[in-house]
Amino acid sequence: MNPAPKPCHPAPESCHPAPESCHPAPESCHPSPKAEDLLLDRTTDIAILGGGLAGSAAAILLARAGRDVLLIERETQPQHKVCGEFLSQEALAYLNLLGLDAAALTTLGAVPIRSVRLAHGTSVSHAQLPFAARSLTRRTLDAHLLQLAEASGARVLRGTRALSLDPTSTGWSIHLESKEASSASAAGQSLTATTALLATGKHDLSKRPRPRGKQPNLVAFKMYFRLSPQQAAALQSHVELILFRGGYAGLQPVEDGVANLCCLVDRTALQRIGGRWPHLLRTMQQDCALLRERLHNATPLLEKPLAIASIPYGYVRPTATDGLWSLGDQAAVIPSFTGDGMSIALHSGSLAAAMLLRGQTPAAFQRQLHDELSTQVALATTLSRGLLWTPTRSLFTAAATLWPTLITTAARTTRISPTALANILQARTTPA
Ligand SMILES: Cc1cc2nc3c(=O)[nH]c(=O)nc-3n(C[C@H](O)[C@H](O)[C@H](O)COP(=O)(O)OP(=O)(O)OC[C@H]3O[C@@H](n4cnc5c(N)ncnc54)[C@H](O)[C@@H]3O)c2cc1C
């Protein structure tokens, strides 16, 4: 069984702003209601655990349909997350459905991504993306989706962690722990819910670990950089996929002229090169001339990288045995190079809301999601393994240099299917 993701020396998913602060935290448009008020009678129709993309998507759609929704998010303030922050065409379609259209994303600072470069050693191949994409920091995106959930009528309880989730004769009992001194009364308390949606992302609740997945030995790091003006201009509108010994990285611009470098490395390969971020950064630049060029005179914007390990890549939940709706990374974990994890999270949240409103069961939901995602996730996992293994990595980069369409084909075939997307968009217009 898979232990909860462990921090890999730097603190996981926390932001340590360096002297030059990177993206000031977006402010909530409403003052946070007190936990005591949100938990008034300690019972709710629908409890959503986790306010990332999957949890917020479900909360928005369920609250809009008039359901009583309580969303529980452990962080008090918006946080940076380990994520490449590449928003695929499908992710953009779901965001539009939730109320974040192209104009709203532009206002938030999202930047267009039109092309992909694949870089390894001194070789670089280039292809247009087969779809329009964007990038935006998770701190900004997640904060706005939570605000949309509140504006749609969901109660959002920030700074409170769900410790456990247990079935009862009438639904669920959820044990909570609050971070905030002001909501001490919520600490150590339980809440009952008729329906529970689990959307805690990479973090497993106690007694609910996900299996290890098919590529579990990767460690992920993320760092923001301010590039030199010349390199920032060269990166504009591009996502760059960088291959190196034992791993791969994505470099792309996000809002405010900042670049996000997010990488995955095999744990053994990381130990072999010294085990720490500076060793990894050096290795990536030694192995890839393009990254060396990009990071010349660049300034890191976080004191330490964000990091996370033990991610169960390749896992797709087959069914729901105990009546729980599992969303996002709790339902399926696709290798990161595809840039499709966010669209899967948004898809699963939207699909769960549509099926719940139609009176369908969590088992039917989980089966449908499994059928929609398993081929895509399996293919992406095979490709991800190939990118890490030296002979296949060299073969792939050589082939991509000759036939750049190979990159576009890989990008297209590892996306959420057009039918699954169309079903969600259609469910929106069909009365429950
Ligand atoms: C290295 C890396 C790069 C990636 N790059 C991309 C990319 O470029 N594009 C892309 O589309 N996808 C990418 N992904 C995948 C993407 O980040 C995830 O698939 C997506 O964030 C999953 O969304 P989620 O809502 O399931 O979980 P999350 O976004 O992780 O949200 C879970 C929420 O639950 C909260 N939470 C956790 N535990 C508790 C608890 N006990 N109680 C209450 N709240 C809790 C957390 O604070 C968090 O806000 C990447 C992933 C990795 C690891």
Kindly list the domain boundaries of the chain, sorted by start residue.
35-81+140-210+313-386+417-429
Distance 145 CA to ligand 1 centre (A): 13
CATH architecture type of domain 35-81+140-210+313-386+417-429: 3-Layer(bba) Sandwich (3.50)
Residue 12 predicted with pLDDT over 70: no
Instruction: Confirm or reject: Cβ of 334 under 6 Å from ligand 1.
Output: no
Give the closest residue (by CA) to ligand 1 atom 9. 339
- pLDDT top residue among 163 and 24: 163
Among the atoms of ligand 1, which is closest to the Cα of residue 348? 26
Distance 106 CA to ligand 1 centre (A): 22
Residue 34: what pLDDT?
62
Residue 35 predicted with pLDDT over 70: no
CA angle (292, 296, 298) in 5-degree steps: 120
Give the closest residue (by CA) to ligand 1 atom 4. 83
Using an 8 Å Cβ cutoff, are 390 and 346 in contact? no
Residue 425 predicted with pLDDT over 80: no
Strands 69-73 and 43-49: parallel
pTM given for the model: 0.90
Instruction: Confirm or reject: Cβ of 329 under 6 Å from ligand 1.
Output: yes
Using an 8 Å Cβ cutoff, are 262 and 250 in contact? yes
Residue 198: what pLDDT?
98
Distance 357 CA to ligand 1 centre (A): 25
Instruction: Confirm or reject: Cβ of 147 under 6 Å from ligand 1.
Output: no
Mutation pick for ligand 1 pocket among 203, 208, 344, 377 (CB with most ligand atoms within 8 Å) = 203
Confidence of residue 225 (pLDDT cuts 50, 70, 90): very high
Distance of CA 404 to the CA centre of its chain: 27
Distance 53 CA to ligand 1 centre (A): 7
Distance separating alpha carbons of residues 345 and 137, to the nearest angstrom: 16
Residue 238 predicted with pLDDT over 80: yes
Structure tokens at 262: 């997010």
Mutation pick for ligand 1 pocket among 39, 252, 284, 336 (CB with most ligand atoms within 8 Å) = 336
**370 closest CA partner among 319, 422, 313:** 319
As to burial, measured by CB atoms within 10 angstroms (0-12 exposed, 13-18 middle, 19+ buried), residue 24 is exposed
Distance 344 CA to ligand 1 centre (A): 11
Strands 238-244 and 155-158: unpaired
Of 37-51, 151-165, 395-409, which has the strongest mean pLDDT?
A: 151-165
Instruction: Confirm or reject: Cβ of 350 under 6 Å from ligand 1.
Output: no
Dump the DSSP string for 297-354.
T-EE-BSS-EEEE---BT-B----SSS-EE-GGGTB---GGG--HHHHHHHHHHHHHH
As to burial, measured by CB atoms within 10 angstroms (0-12 exposed, 13-18 middle, 19+ buried), residue 430 is exposed
Rg of the chain over CA atoms, in angstroms? 21
Instruction: Confirm or reject: Cβ of 82 under 6 Å from ligand 1.
Output: yes
Contacts of 9 (CB under 8 A, 6+ apart): 275, 276, 277, 307
Instruction: Confirm or reject: Cβ of 51 under 6 Å from ligand 1.
Output: yes
Instruction: Confirm or reject: Cβ of 50 under 6 Å from ligand 1.
Output: yes
Instruction: Confirm or reject: Cβ of 49 under 6 Å from ligand 1.
Output: yes
**43 closest CA partner among 171, 208, 187, 197:** 171
Distance separating alpha carbons of residues 109 and 123, to the nearest angstrom: 32
Average pLDDT over residues 187-214: 91
C-alpha distances (whole Å) from 191 to each of 158, 166, 205 are: 15, 11, 16
**345 closest CA partner among 14, 59, 15:** 59
Residue 181: what pLDDT?
52
Distance separating alpha carbons of residues 416 and 90, to the nearest angstrom: 7
Distance of CA 79 to the CA centre of its chain: 12
Average pLDDT over residues 193-220: 94
Give the closest residue (by CA) to ligand 1 atom 21. 342
Residue 133 predicted with pLDDT over 50: yes
As to burial, measured by CB atoms within 10 angstroms (0-12 exposed, 13-18 middle, 19+ buried), residue 126 is middle
Structure tokens at 365: 């939901």
Instruction: Confirm or reject: Cβ of 210 under 6 Å from ligand 1.
Output: no
Instruction: Confirm or reject: Cβ of 349 under 6 Å from ligand 1.
Output: no
Average pLDDT over residues 239-255: 95
Among the atoms of ligand 1, which is closest to the Cα of residue 308? 53
Average pLDDT over residues 177-192: 69
Distance 334 CA to ligand 1 centre (A): 12
